Structure 1
């Protein structure tokens, strides 16, 4: 299993643990579709040279983009925490 695949699975489990419904799309790049409380986001895992470099996060799976730097595989937990913060901010905005 490539590093990026294990990271994708770790992120999916973290999202599920935070109450998100998660769908995995395998391909290049790997993509997760996460939804909760009416907020949906597409999360693409950008693989550079055999390792994860970034997460691309699109609200509503449409236009707009946030990028989370995940180039240090040892700090995936920080990357996931940042991703969850972005999703929570979008959810708060959607509730207004």
Structure 2
């Protein structure tokens, strides 16, 4: 049963829980341990939810404590962290024959 929500904190919690089941905490043994992959995925999903750019997403997270608590975020990343993570995640999901 699917349902939609207008609550950003509920959306963040649901997205974070799903990402925790789908992704390991870190992409590799030598990756920085500042943010987990599920946290990054939740932040990128929030970017789409709010229809914001990367800087706007970081600003919204900085201002909204309940949102940070929902994804267990102790500190807010620099906006370029989200850019690089999104590129990395998209690269992993593209199939070899895909031209887009």
Please classify the TM superposition score into its range, dividing by the shorter chain length: 0.3 to 0.5
- Structure holding more strand per residue: 1
- Structure holding more helix per residue: 2
TM-score (norm 2): 0.31
Q: Quick check: which has more Rg, 1 or 2?
A: 2
